């Protein structure tokens, strides 16, 4: 086997692949071949680096040079200058927005400085389709220790002592869930990995599966050993083709290496993993709905108890954890419960992966210690708000969470504090909005999503959320009243108290949090018939400023409905009863004479 003196790591996550990542990889390989460097330089397609805003990313090892926004045509220069001549390609380096200086090492970038990667430890560092690279980074060492040195109850105790809580949204203690499953005896038990990631703007689990699939297989096998389960199932949405492919490759490699299947590592323990594909229903993130979907039934939740740990897949004891939860397991067993507890906070140990998106400069995938503040995430890691706009709110927890404002920026990120603030951790979606966003419209957007994704089994969710959406639509259309605001609040609280599953119980959170934190915007919509952000079209008025109008008639000529009248070289006017708010007049006017009020 060749011993390479240099490795070129190319981000192979879905985002960078969509931006010609594969072409970059192939072009680099071609340049290396043409320069006879195959014996000394290796190109590796990795998982996601996380810094999606600056992708595609190419990293040169061992000097850790970090190139951003690389294009296929840049590869010739990278090989000629960096690889052959040892000179960095300055134009491809990251530029620090504050210091205006070029930064070549990712360790000194603000985006990475406060991150601590545990679940994402291998993403961007290894070839996810090469089991040897995973093993080279302590892969399957935890499984080996469990099978040769520990009893099942010892494994469970370490996970319990670590304080690891489920990263899928509920935050239930992982070790306790394993212990319950282990105590329920049956002729067959199951371990299920919930990879049905459905929150808008969320891509945490997908990135872990694309960048480090073996860590999930190892963790599921450890869970199987601890709970006496012999069968593992990964429930993954069919919309994740790359994650599916890499899981399939990893499963095949693990079987061939004796790390899955019969008599694993000669221990006498049997465990194997299969994939189950979902159609992308958000409600199937709820564990009982997920199980019904795997059984070929409608993805609908059922009343608990019994919990899946007692009666789950085909009525057998089933332990369900999400991808990120499993990704933490091998590291905890190698480094110990005390080490894990030393990170984060007392009630929320460890780290959390977030998909940071929206009106933020550094869109990407981040992993931070629990207890870090929203301010640090948004303004230090995230680099602040795009185009110098003013921060308005951040939605955590996706459709199940709430909108937090400037008064919450110093709130520590942990399970209990976010709930106390009126939001929740959720699976890890974090969407930032700025001054140009309407919070009533934001609440309406999330209600549209939950109405669409509701399974319809219980009336509070099926009917109640539909009514909530109708009232929000009425307000956004300028027909709302103060009585509607009271109705929104009352209906939201009834739905939270009476819905069957977590989807319905948390769906009113965006409404309640925006009512609480942005009540003045709701009042403007119902009293003044005004949307300060200019988002709600029915409440917008296009007006011509007489002092700036020169009567060029350009706006009148472009108006598709003839709403603009006026003589040439005279002041023009817009008939509000005809105007459809298309914006064509503003785009055409060269004199800034038209504005929105």
Q: Look up the CATH number of the domain holding residue 386.
A: 3.10.20.600
pLDDT digits (tens, 9 = 90+) for 289-329: 999 999 999 999 998 899 999 999 999 999 999 999 999 99
Rounded distance between C-alpha atoms, residue 90 and residue 494, angstroms: 59
Could you give phi then psi for residue 353, rounded to 5 degrees? -90, 135
CB atoms within 10 A of CB 485: 18
CATH number at residue 217: 3.40.50.11540
Looking at the structure, tell me whether residues 414 and 380 fall in a common domain. Answer: yes
pLDDT at 552 over 90: yes
Average pLDDT across the chain, whole number: 93
Residue 492 banded pLDDT, cuts 50, 70, 90: very high
Contact 357, 170 (CB under 8 A): no
Q: What is the mean pLDDT of residues 155-176?
A: 94
Looking at the structure, tell me whether residues 192 and 288 fall in a common domain. Answer: yes
CATH number at residue 588: 3.30.70.20
Looking at the structure, tell me whether residues 176 and 104 fall in a common domain. Answer: no
Q: Which domain-ending residue is among 402, 434, 466? A: 434
Contact 561, 578 (CB under 8 A): yes
Rounded distance between C-alpha atoms, residue 450 and residue 237, angstroms: 18
Rounded distance between C-alpha atoms, residue 70 and residue 19, angstroms: 9
DSSP 321: E
Q: Which domain-ending residue is among 399, 434, 469? A: 434
pLDDT at 48 over 50: yes
CATH number at residue 456: 1.20.1440.230
Q: What is the mean pLDDT of residues 155-173?
A: 93
In a domain, 487, yes or no: yes
In a domain, 26, yes or no: yes
Looking at the structure, tell me whether residues 299 and 201 fall in a common domain. Answer: yes
Q: What is the mean pLDDT of residues 534-555?
A: 90
In the beta sheet, which residues pair with residue 174?
none
Looking at the structure, tell me whether residues 301 and 153 fall in a common domain. Answer: yes
Q: Which has more confidence, 6 or 202?
A: 6
Q: What is the mean pLDDT of residues 145-159?
A: 97
DSSP 73: G
Give me the domain span that covers residue 430. 351-434
Q: What is the mean pLDDT of residues 398-416?
A: 91
Looking at the structure, tell me whether residues 518 and 551 fall in a common domain. Answer: no
Looking at the structure, tell me whether residues 311 and 360 fall in a common domain. Answer: no
User: What percentage of residues in the chain have a pLDDT greater than 90?
Assistant: 84
Looking at the structure, tell me whether residues 302 and 198 fall in a common domain. Answer: yes
Tell me the residue ranges of DSSP E strands in 410-530.
Answer: 429-434
Could you give phi then psi for residue 398, rounded to 5 degrees? 65, -150
In a domain, 533, yes or no: no
CATH number at residue 83: 3.40.30.10
In a domain, 128, yes or no: no
pLDDT at 2 over 70: no
Looking at the structure, tell me whether residues 371 and 253 fall in a common domain. Answer: no
Looking at the structure, tell me whether residues 521 and 470 fall in a common domain. Answer: yes
CA 520 and chain centroid, separation: 30
pLDDT at 577 over 90: no
In a domain, 99, yes or no: yes
Number of domains in the chain: 5
In a domain, 127, yes or no: no
Looking at the structure, tell me whether residues 581 and 520 fall in a common domain. Answer: no
- Per the structure block, which two tokens stand in for 389? 């706009």
Could you give phi then psi for residue 381, rounded to 5 degrees? -70, -45
In a domain, 564, yes or no: yes
Looking at the structure, tell me whether residues 178 and 323 fall in a common domain. Answer: yes
pLDDT digits (tens, 9 = 90+) for 82-109: 999 999 999 999 998 888 899 998 888 9
Q: Which domain-ending residue is among 52, 79, 113? A: 113
Q: Which residues contact 531 (CB under 8 A, 6 or more apart)?
A: 438, 440, 441, 476, 524, 525, 539, 540
Q: How far are the Cα atoms of 64, 102, 301, 372 from residue 99, in angstroms, in the given order?
A: 21, 9, 52, 24
pLDDT at 1 over 50: no
In a domain, 120, yes or no: no
pLDDT at 362 over 50: yes
- Per the structure block, which two tokens stand in for 38? 């195959």
Q: Which residues contact 103 (CB under 8 A, 6 or more apart)?
A: 66, 93, 94, 95, 96, 109
Contact 507, 450 (CB under 8 A): yes
pLDDT at 227 over 60: yes
């Amino acid at each position: 086997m060749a011993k390479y003196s240099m490795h070129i790591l190319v981000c192979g996550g879905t985002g960078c692949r969509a931006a010609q990542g594969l072409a970059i990889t192939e072009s680099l390989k071609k340049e290396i071949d043409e320069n006879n460097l195959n014996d000394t330089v290796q190109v590796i397609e990795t998982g996601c680096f996380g810094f999606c805003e600056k992708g595609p990313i190419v990293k040169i090892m061992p000097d850790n040079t970090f190139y951003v926004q690389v294009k296929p045509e840049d590869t010739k220069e990278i090989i000629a200058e960096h690889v052959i001549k040892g000179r960095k390609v300055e134009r491809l380096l990251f530029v620090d927005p504050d210091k205006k200086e070029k930064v070549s090492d990712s360790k000194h970038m603000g985006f990475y400085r406060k991150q601590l990667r545990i679940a994402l430890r291998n993403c961007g560092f290894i070839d996810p389709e090469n089991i040897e690279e995973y093993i080279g980074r302590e892969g399957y060492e935890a499984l080996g220790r469990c099978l040769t040195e520990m009893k099942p109850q010892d494994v469970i105790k370490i996970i319990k002592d670590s304080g690891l809580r489920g990263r899928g949204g509920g935050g239930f203690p992982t070790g306790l869930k394993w212990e319950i499953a282990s105590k329920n005896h049956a002729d067959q038990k199951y371990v299920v990995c919930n990879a049905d990631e459905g929150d808008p703007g969320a891509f945490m689990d997908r990135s872990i599966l694309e960048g480090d699939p073996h860590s999930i297989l190892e963790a599921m096998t450890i869970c199987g050993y601890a709970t006496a389960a012999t069968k593992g199932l990964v429930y993954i949405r069919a919309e994740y083709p790359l994650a599916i492919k890499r899981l399939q490759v990893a499963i095949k490699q693990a079987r061939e290496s004796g790390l899955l299947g019969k008599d694993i590592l000669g221990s006498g323990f049997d465990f194997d993993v299969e994939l189950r594909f979902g159609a992308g229903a958000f409600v199937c993130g709820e564990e009982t709905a997920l199980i019904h979907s795997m059984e070929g039934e409608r993805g609908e939740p059922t009343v608990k108890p019994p919990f899946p740990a007692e009666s789950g897949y085909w009525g057998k004891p089933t332990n369900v954890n999400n991808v990120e939860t499993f990704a933490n397991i091998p590291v905890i067993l190698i480094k110990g419960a005390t080490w894990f507890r030393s990170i984060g906070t007392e009630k929320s140990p460890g780290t959390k992966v977030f998909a940071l998106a929206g009106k933020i400069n550094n869109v990407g995938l981040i992993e931070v210690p629990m207890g870090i503040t929203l301010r640090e995430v948004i303004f230090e890691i995230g680099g602040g708000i795009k185009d110098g706009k003013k921060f308005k709110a951040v939605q955590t927890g996706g459709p199940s969470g709430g909108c937090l404002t400037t008064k919450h920026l110093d709130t520590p990120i942990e399970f209990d504090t976010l709930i106390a603030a009126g939001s929740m951790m959720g699976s890890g979606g974090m969407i930032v909005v700025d001054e140009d966003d309407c919070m009533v419209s934001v609440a309406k957007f999330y209600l549209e999503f939950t109405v669409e994704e509701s399974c319809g089994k219980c009336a509070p969710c099926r009917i109640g959320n539909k009514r909530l959406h109708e009232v929000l639509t009425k307000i956004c259309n300028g027909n709302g009243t103060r009585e509607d605001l009271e109705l929104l609040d009352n209906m939201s609280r009834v739905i939270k108290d009476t819905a069957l599953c977590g989807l319905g119980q948390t769906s009113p959170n965006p409404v309640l949090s925006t009512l609480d934190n942005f009540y003045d915007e709701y009042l403007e919509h119902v009293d003044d018939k005004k949307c300060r952000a200019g988002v709600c079209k029915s409440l917008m008025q296009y007006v011509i400023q007489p002092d700036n109008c020169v009567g060029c008639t350009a706006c009148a000529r472009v108006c598709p409905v003839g709403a603009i009248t006026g003589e040439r070289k005279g002041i023009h006017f817009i008939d509000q009863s005809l105007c459809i708010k298309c914006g064509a007049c503003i785009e055409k006017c060269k004199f800034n004479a038209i504005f929105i009020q």
